[in-house]
Amino acid sequence: MAESIFGIHETAFRVRSARAEVLANNLANADTPNFKARDIDFRAAIKDAHGSFGDSERFEMSRTNSRHIQDESFSSTSEFLKYRLPTQPALDGNTVETHIEKAQFMENGIQQTATLEFLNGKIKGIRGALRGE
């Protein structure tokens, strides 16, 4: 697999974005009976993105010229979506604990911001190199 110029941060940003959607969905369903809170196993998703994938999770871009760079990427984080175990299960079967979900959402947001800062620094470096600075 060809390494992106953005390194692991490109993949991390995609996984963190998907995780933000999952956590927001959990919060939106905090009052839904029998709703089961879920979360993405970030470490497993990153490890798998930079390791070996199963054939179902890989796709290749079309190449129209033999000199084009070949790239592969993962298409989904659904394989890493896990159910969260509640510390205090509700009587209605809902496993969303809003204080935990809010904390996870905020932590994920901070980590996503840090990832964006790394990507921004990389882009500034590339821009400077192109300008000859």
How many domains does the chain divide into?
1
In a domain, 3, yes or no: no
Higher pLDDT, 36 or 67: 36
Look up the pTM and report it: 0.71
Asked if the structure places residue 32 within a domain, the reply is: yes
- Give domain status of residue 131, yes or no: no
Tell me how far apart the alpha carbons of residues 41 and 82 are, in angstroms, rounded to a whole number. 7
d(CA 22, CA 1): 28
Residue 1 placed within a domain = no
Q: How confident is the model at residue 26 (pLDDT cuts 50, 70, 90)?
A: very high
Residue 109 CA to residue 3 CA, distance in Å, equals 25
User: Of 77, 75, 69, 76, which Cα lies nearest the Cα of 2?
Assistant: 69
Domain that holds residue 14: 8-126
Element (H, E) at 56: none
- Binning pLDDT at 50, 70 and 90, where does residue 85 land? confident
